[in-house]
């Protein structure tokens, strides 16, 4: 069978090296596909997707980043390809057969299309209250959401899209919700093949019960820690706890988290450059879906500060379109985009009473 590698980069090169080492070639590599490059790569031709006429050819996505893999998958499905695999680039292997596809790849059984990334609050408020929080968590009351309402949103989303690649349980601070183990177990049941992560500032981790920590490990949920200054001061206690319970975690390091941005300008004609800092961060909340957190929670900003930034663009999960139509709808610019800027600041916490300038510049 003929085969193409999708991705003429480092992983494409790694896949080719292993492919050349294999003895049995049930699949014959004919070249590379790439969304940006054309010409030649490692002695093979590189084609754009639009030039591949044989739709029954086998395609192996040779890309590291899961979100870009998801986009590649959608591009291939839109173009009519159906025999799609992902190169795993594993460190260790067992039970090798000598066949490239069997030993090195997994089949992408993801249906008609995939949603690369979704975020969902299980607590709107936070214990850190950063200035510039794009979820406006410092502006929310400390109140637990209703479990059934939150889970219903996941269920409705599942009915709209066949597969989600990365699902983030967050907030606010998700560990402020004492039912986090219940959410973790239920969401894993609903999304068995999704990479699920809890995104946290980590401060509460050393105080978590054994039951919560065991539940996170048993449900194969990854902990993603944003290492802000207060987190940095206790990072050893945090990682010791996670190590003790065998939980997989990643840290966004302290150096990176010292820079922050005010995400908004009150003016459409800001002196700061326009920028979207929440690309691909689809949010679901209270029966709605938006392309980013800023849009989802802007109503809270408007209410607290008596502002009138545009709120249009959220879709109701109950009657929004499905599949590719939903993906396309979530790509469209919304009026609020005209207020999104890149205004860099140092990381700081809000005071007892957050002010509008903690989140938005006037200029
Ligand atoms: S830790 Fe995260 S969620 Fe909490 S206020 Fe800071 S940016 Fe927002
Ligand atoms: S409103 Fe538009 S520009 Fe702003 S974060 Fe959302 S998608 Fe990006």
What confidence tens digit (pLDDT) does each residue in 330-345 have? 999 999 999 999 988 8
- Give the pLDDT score at 256: 74
Report, as an integer, the average pLDDT of 255-284: 88
- Which is it for the CA torsion 254, 256, 260, 264, positive or negative? negative
- Give the pLDDT score at 94: 65
Where are the strands (E) in 94-137, listed by range?
A: 105-107, 114-123
Residue with tokens 């109140």: 143
| 278 or 317, which is more confident | 317
- What separation in angstroms does the CA of 40 have from each of 15, 37, 43, 87, 234? 16, 9, 6, 21, 50
Q: For ligand 2, what atom is nearest to the CA of residue 340?
A: 4
Report, as an integer, the average pLDDT of 265-286: 91
Report, as an integer, the average pLDDT of 220-248: 96
- Give the pLDDT score at 93: 64
- Give the pLDDT score at 1: 86
On the question of pLDDT at 123 being above 70, the answer is yes
- Residue among 124, 133, 257, 258 to mutate when testing ligand 1 (max atoms within 8 A of CB): 133
Question: What residue spans define the domains of the chain?
Answer: 2-107, 114-361
Q: What is the pTM of this model?
A: 0.91
Q: Any idea how long the chain is?
A: 363
- Give the pLDDT score at 99: 87
- Give the pLDDT score at 181: 97
Q: What integer best gives the mean pLDDT of the chain?
A: 94
| 280 or 165, which is more confident | 165
Q: How many angstroms does the Cα of residue 292 sit away from the middle of ligand 2?
A: 6
d(CA 241, CA 321): 43
- Give the pLDDT score at 26: 79
How would you classify residue 273: left for phi > 0, otherwise alpha for psi between -120 and 50, otherwise beta?
A: beta
CATH match of 114-361 with 3.20.20 = yes
- Residue among 125, 130, 225, 277 to mutate when testing ligand 1 (max atoms within 8 A of CB): 130
d(CA 80, CA 77): 5
Counting ligands in written order, the one closest to the CA of 279 is 2
pLDDT, one tens digit per residue, over 64-75 is 998 999 999 999
Site residues for ligand 2, CB cut-off 6 Å: 276, 278, 291-292, 294-295, 334, 336-337, 340
The answer to whether the 2-107 and 114-361 domains have the same CATH topology is no
Q: How many angstroms does the Cα of residue 99 sit away from the middle of ligand 1?
A: 47
pLDDT, one tens digit per residue, over 126-161 is 999 999 999 999 999 999 999 999 999 999 999 999
- Give the pLDDT score at 83: 96
Residue nearest to atom 6 of ligand 1 (CA): 130
Q: Look up the CATH number of domain 2-107.
A: 3.40.50.20
Site residues for ligand 1, CB cut-off 6 Å: 126, 128-130, 133, 135, 137-138, 171-173, 201
- How many Cα atoms within 13 Å fall on the side-chain side of residue 345? 18
């Amino acid at each position: 069978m003929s085969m193409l590698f999708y991705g003429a980069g480092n992983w494409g090169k790694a896949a080719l090296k292993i492919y050349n080492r294999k003895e049995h070639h049930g699949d014959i590599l004919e070249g590379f596909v790439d969304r940006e490059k054309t010409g030649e790569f490692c002695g093979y031709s590189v084609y754009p997707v639009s030039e591949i006429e044989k739709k029954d050819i086998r395609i192996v996505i040779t890309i590291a980043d899961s979100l870009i893999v998801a986009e590649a998958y959608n591009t291939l499905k839109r173009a009519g390809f159906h025999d799609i695999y992902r190169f795993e680039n594993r460190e260790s292997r067992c039970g090798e057969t000598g066949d490239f596809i069997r030993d090195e790849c997994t089949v992408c059984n993801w249906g008609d299309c995939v949603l690369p990334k979704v975020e969902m609050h299980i607590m709107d408020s936070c214990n850190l209250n950063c200035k510039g929080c794009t979820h406006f968590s410092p502006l929310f009351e400390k109140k637990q959401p209703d479990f059934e309402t939150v889970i219903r949103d996941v269920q409705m989303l599942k009915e709209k899209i066949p597969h989600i690649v990365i699902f983030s349980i967050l907030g606010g601070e998700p560990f402020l919700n004492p039912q986090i183990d219940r959410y973790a177990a239920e969401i894993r049941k609903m999304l068995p093949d999704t990479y699920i992560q809890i995104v946290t500032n980590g401060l509460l981790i050393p105080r978590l019960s054994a039951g919560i920590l065991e539940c996170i490990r048993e449900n194969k949920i990854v902990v993603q820690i944003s290492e802000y200054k207060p987190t940095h001061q206790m990072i050893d206690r945090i990682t010791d706890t996670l190590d003790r319970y065998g939980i997989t975690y990643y840290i966004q390091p302290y150096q990176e988290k010292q820079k922050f941005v005010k995400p908004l300008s009150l003016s459409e004609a800001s002196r700061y450059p326009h920028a979207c800092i929440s690309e691909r961060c689809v949010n679901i909340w209270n029966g709605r879906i938006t392309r980013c957190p800023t849009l989802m929670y802007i109503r809270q900003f408007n209410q607290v500060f008596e502002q009138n930034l545009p709120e249009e663009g959220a879709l109701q999960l109950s009657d929004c379109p499905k599949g590719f139509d939903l993906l396309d709808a979530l790509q469209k610019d919304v009026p609020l985009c005209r207020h999104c800027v890149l205004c860099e600041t140092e990381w700081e916490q809000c005071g007892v009473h957050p002010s509008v300038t903690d989140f938005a510049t006037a200029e």
